[in-house]
Structure 1
Amino acid sequence: MTEAVRRVSTRRHRGRAPHGPAVAAQAPTFDSATAPAEPWRPHGTAAGGDDRRPRPFDQFIVKLHGRCDLACDYCYVYELRDTGWRDRPRAMAPATLDRLAARIAEHAGTHRLAAARIVLHGGEPLLAGSDTVARFAATATRRLRRVRARPDIVLQTNGVRLTTDVLDTLLRHGVRVGVSLDGDRVGHDRHRRRADGRGSHAEVTRALRLLNHPDYRGLFEGLLCTVDLRNDPVATYRALAAHRPPMLDFALPHATWEHPPPAAAPGAAPYGAWLVAAFDDWWAAARPPRVRLFDSLVDLWRGGTGGSEVVGLATASAVTVETDGSIALADWLKAVANGAGRTGLDIHRHAFDEALAIRERTTTPDGLAGLCGTCRACPVARVCGGGLRAHRFSPERDYANPSVYCRDLAALIGHVAERLAGAAGTGSPGTPGHRVVNQVRMAAE
């Protein structure tokens, strides 16, 4: 593995051209089950405009606690390539949290952000204790309001530590909750277990019953489910929907061309077929609840900007802060290589603008310009967006590849196009809808 891979990114793009046309909506990060409450226009960009300044961070992934009370075998933080968590403190110190709140407000004020999205993450953030969550949320809220930025604080949890006392604290401080759940008991407990092998499904469903209580329902933002081909897609979707989440999302297992996804045979699209089955059940049920991936594809086909980091060209502008205060770029880089994403900066000595400058020097541009030639030539590139950037990585070509899930995404995108064409009565041969479907099928082949 090259030194460039071990540092911030796998390739330094020095002297590259500025960003292409700005995207009119901000995608939520892959690290949260929740989505921003509204589409956020990139900084300084008028509708239809082209802002060539670096897009500021408006999403902050806060590693409140660096350990977890579950031992999920697919976890990208602990079980894949990165081992940095071993050398960092278990939890953020109070002084680090205070400094972080100040740095977020500083960045929001400098760039006149209307809102700053803060995702409390881990590990399991509730291991830090609800009092720590409350103190940080209060401090961040106070500082952001001083610079006229709206705080948007979300806690992403495995759910096992949610109690009425915890939820009362979150309610007082306006902290919403996203929960990880992999479907029914069998599907969930296959991976999301404690270190001694005990499943966590019963504890999570107990927590979801609390979240659905009228006192706390307003805190419930969504469910995040990792796809496992061994789980029935329809049963999985229905098990998730039974908890009445305002939103849910399906996450593909983190994989790269160096470390391909499990059970993926060359030329096959098993994850696409799985998602198609779940999509059809969602579509037939008049589409409650919202499913971020599916809603995004429908919106993209209709000319919108989506709302998912996995498809479309609206990438998240997110930065990660580890428990020691060190600054890293996108958290999913932990799935790519050990140390990928580290900047060498920390909030004690550096402003977020310094990390922004590193991101501009070291990462591929947003939009079509950041995709490889194969993707740019694809008829559905603006819908697919190349997939999650981590899934494009190979040691030989860095991110200049299609997604390792290319065929899966093409199968799902084509199916969505076919459904939309049929719903609009444009699916007969020779019509635009029919031609779109054929283009997607050709791309998948």
Structure 2
Amino acid sequence: MNIEALVVKIASRCNINCTYCYMYNHADQSYKSQPKFMSKETILNLKNKIKNHCVKHELKKFYVILHGGEPLLTDVNDLRYFLETLSSLDKESSINISFAVQTNGILISEEHCKLLNEYDVGVGISLDGNEKINNQYRVDKKGNGTFENVKKGIEVAKKHLNHPIGCLSVVNLEASPIESYETFKSLSFTGINFLLLDENYDTLSNDDIVISDLKNSNWLIELFDYWYKLDDKERLRIRKFEDIISYILGSERGTESAGKGENKIAVVETNGDIEPLDVLKICGEEFTKHKFNLATNELDDVFHSDLIKTYYNSKKYLAKKCLACPVNEVCGGGYLPHRYNSKNGFNNPSIYCKDLLKVITHIQNVIIDDIPNEIIEESGVKKVTYEEALEMIENNIPNIESTGYMDLLESFRKNELITN
């Protein structure tokens, strides 16, 4: 077991207040006890622990994603110190650090762009669609919409950054998927990663989102059908669709929420705490806290945590319904935070299970008509309708035996956590 990437919270606060934010507006409010910014001492500890980990596991490339909160709240000089300190690992130990930053875009300045260019930092900007759609949930501390300020930041980035800008967008069912796509295109994004709203069985309410009527899958399918018919030169990259296609065709790689393989990512908080996926904060107060810190621990120490082990193996440690599903190697059981229930921990399919199944079977059936027979034979992919897949799951479930890891998944029940 090893880590190949870290999401580093160089700032624990944000300059806006998105109403759906998993960091500030869900169950876990532990951010309030975190330092607002990462200290130079913690940055040096981070550098040394990355070095030790890469040397031990013979890794020559390591990924660092600057995150928050809002990472650009960090003073530009402190941001330079961070990038310079970690970049020095290349000269000292032949470890190449690849940087990216996820930002809401409002604070981007020409000075930021020069610095990000200097260290070849990839940039993603969060936006949910046009002004009306974005301003429903992505608001400032006074409740005002943020679209125009983000748009100004995008213009600065377009003018001064040397590389393309990606977009991270949460699906809004009130938006037209095609209008949203065209909005992103008009803003000169080169790629989009669409995310489903971060909810689980405990946080879900019928007022927030309906998961039984397949609205999310219908939204994504409408977008896919539009996107897939576009000429390659006109088409923006949509990571969710590209990933699903590659997994259908047998790719062995995966992301945190789909495909195969392990999740070799951890999070470092501003105080140096090493934690699993930060979206798991939606599962409860201090849910991700395990008392591992850069000051006293190596990165490998986090694998003593059952939660880290569960996250690391989340695409293998699946509920019975997932094991019975014909597309589980494509969806990977869905995003781990979306599987949580205080009654039985993570031993559940995703709350978006039916949506994922419908989207995947739709995409699979569309692309089969367009790929050569030899690839179809090699990958073993076959057409299966959504309804057929549901029937296969029901028929297969009785034949699925319980496995040892299911006890681990259920160990995160609320009563178990209180007892322990």
* TM-score, length basis structure 2: 0.86
Is residue 2:174 matched to residue 1:234? no
Query: Aligned residue for 1:354?
Result: 301
Is residue 2:275 matched to residue 1:331? no
2:212 & 2:39 partners in 1: Cα distance?
49
Q: 1:349 to 1:281 in 2, by over 3 A?
A: same
Q: 1:266 to 1:227 in 2, by over 3 A?
A: closer
Is residue 2:378 matched to residue 1:434? no
Query: Aligned residue for 1:116?
Result: 62
Is residue 2:49 matched to residue 1:103? yes
- Partner of 1:223, secondary structure, is strand
Query: Aligned residue for 2:228?
Result: 283
- Quick check: 398-407 or 216-225, which moved more? 216-225
Is residue 2:366 matched to residue 1:419? yes
1:396 & 1:292 partners in 2: Cα distance?
33
Counterpart amino acid of residue 76 in structure 2: S
Superposed counterparts of 1:18-167, under 5 Å: 55-167=1-113
* Higher RCO structure (Cα 8 Å, ≥6 apart): 1
Q: 1:422 to 1:360 in 2, by over 3 A?
A: same
Q: 1:70 to 1:444 in 2, by over 3 A?
A: farther
Superposed counterparts of 1:307-326, under 5 Å: 307-326=254-273
CA-to-aligned-CA distance 1:385-436 (integer Å, 9 cap, x gap): 1100111111122111110000111111111012112324889xxx974346
2:220 & 2:261 partners in 1: Cα distance?
21
- RMSD of the alignment, in Å? 2.4
Q: Per-residue deviation at 1:295? A: 0.3
Among 155, 171, 192, the alignment partner of 1:209 is 155
- Partner of 2:301, secondary structure, is helix
Q: Retained in 2: the 8 A contact 1:211–1:219?
A: no
Q: Per-residue deviation at 1:180? A: 0.4
Query: Aligned residue for 2:240?
Result: 293
Q: Retained in 2: the 8 A contact 1:66–1:122?
A: yes
Q: Retained in 2: the 8 A contact 1:158–1:204?
A: yes
Q: 1:330 to 1:172 in 2, by over 3 A?
A: same
Q: 1:145 to 1:74 in 2, by over 3 A?
A: farther
- Quick check: 348-357 or 388-397, which moved more? 348-357
Q: 1:441 to 1:420 in 2, by over 3 A?
A: farther
Q: Retained in 2: the 8 A contact 1:211–1:220?
A: no
Query: Aligned residue for 2:417?
Result: none
Q: 1:391 to 1:129 in 2, by over 3 A?
A: same
1:350 & 1:379 partners in 2: Cα distance?
41
Higher helix content, 1 or 2: 2
Q: Retained in 1: the 8 A contact 2:67–2:103?
A: yes
Counterpart amino acid of residue 409 in structure 1: L
1:145 & 1:399 partners in 2: Cα distance?
43
Q: 1:367 to 1:266 in 2, by over 3 A?
A: closer
Q: Per-residue deviation at 1:124? A: 0.5
Q: Per-residue deviation at 1:196? A: 1.2
1:367 & 1:200 partners in 2: Cα distance?
35
Q: 1:282 to 1:97 in 2, by over 3 A?
A: same
Q: Per-residue deviation at 1:260? A: 2.1
2:140 & 2:314 partners in 1: Cα distance?
40
Is residue 2:201 matched to residue 1:257? yes
Q: Retained in 2: the 8 A contact 1:67–1:123?
A: yes
1:368 & 1:70 partners in 2: Cα distance?
33
2:381 & 2:298 partners in 1: Cα distance?
50
Q: Please, which runs of 5 or more residues in structure 1 have no aligned partner?
A: 1-54
2:320 & 2:12 partners in 1: Cα distance?
39
2:389 & 2:253 partners in 1: Cα distance?
18
Q: 1:155 to 1:364 in 2, by over 3 A?
A: closer
CA-to-aligned-CA distance 1:333-384 (integer Å, 9 cap, x gap): 1121111121211111111111133258852662664101110111111111
* TM-score, length basis structure 1: 0.81
2:311 & 2:129 partners in 1: Cα distance?
35
Q: Retained in 1: the 8 A contact 2:314–2:336?
A: no
1:117 & 1:175 partners in 2: Cα distance?
11
Q: 1:162 to 1:243 in 2, by over 3 A?
A: same
2:75 & 2:165 partners in 1: Cα distance?
20
Is residue 2:123 matched to residue 1:174? no
Q: 1:186 to 1:279 in 2, by over 3 A?
A: same
2:118 & 2:311 partners in 1: Cα distance?
41
